[in-house]
Amino acid sequence: MNNKTAELLQANYGFIFEKELLQEMGEVGKLMEAKEGEVIINYQQTIKGMPLMLSGAIKISRQDNDGDELALYYLELGDTCTMTMTCCLGEQKSSIKAIAETDVTFLLVPVQKMKEWTKKYDTWMSFVFESYNNRFNELLDTVDNLAFSNMQERLSKYIKDQVMIRKTTVLELSHQDIAYDLHTSRVVISRLLKTLEKEGKIELGRNKIMVIEY
């Protein structure tokens, strides 16, 4: 295990996992980096490991029968992707797409170790179950937003989430990018953004949104 991997694991997971598990993670895991916008996992791809987030954010999306995509949730520091985990353990191909929302660093854990650690380390099993619970709640929020929230509310929440994920109030996002994530048309998003601008909550630029109030 190199020093960089050891330092990242200790800093981000040292309060969760015991020293022995961190040591194993560093020995068998592969330190990965991806630039903003890079596809990390694509649909129908064979998944060989599970990501443990170390920095940045990854967007997890699902595709419908018409080929349209919907953003399900985001992975950030200390998170892992339970849908990836499910595909790994079930030896299935990916049903989701993972894209780097920002520059990211993560540790890719081999499939066989995931099963082994569940039996060997109670902290790992607790982490897995907690991750399932967190992602399940986020999926429920997504369903609730689709079913019960109007598009204005969904857009406002989306902008707030983006500010938190990117840690900046200047969002380099096109209207089409937002439309893809919210499963709607660019025209609708442009109209709603203009409304938010008139209300003094944002300021629009070329492929940029300056958030004033969130």
Per-residue pLDDT tens over the stretch 68-123:
788 888 888 888 877 676 666 656 778 889 999 999 999 998 888 887 898 899 99
For residues 103 and 186, membership in a common domain is answered with no
- pLDDT score at 213: 82
For residues 112 and 135, membership in a common domain is answered with yes
Give residue-wise pLDDT tens across range 6-18: 888 998 898 999 9
Give the structural domain span for 203: 150-211
> Could you please report the per-residue DSSP string of 119-159?
HH-HHHHHHHHHHHHHHHHHHHHHHHHHHHS-HHHHHHHHH
For residues 143 and 154, membership in a common domain is answered with no
Cβ(90)–Cβ(142) under 8 Å? no
Is 20 a member of any domain? no
For residues 105 and 143, membership in a common domain is answered with yes
For residues 87 and 167, membership in a common domain is answered with no
Give residue-wise pLDDT tens across range 155-196: 999 999 999 999 999 999 999 999 988 888 888 899 999 999
Total domains in the fold of the chain: 2
- pTM for the predicted model, two decimal places: 0.73
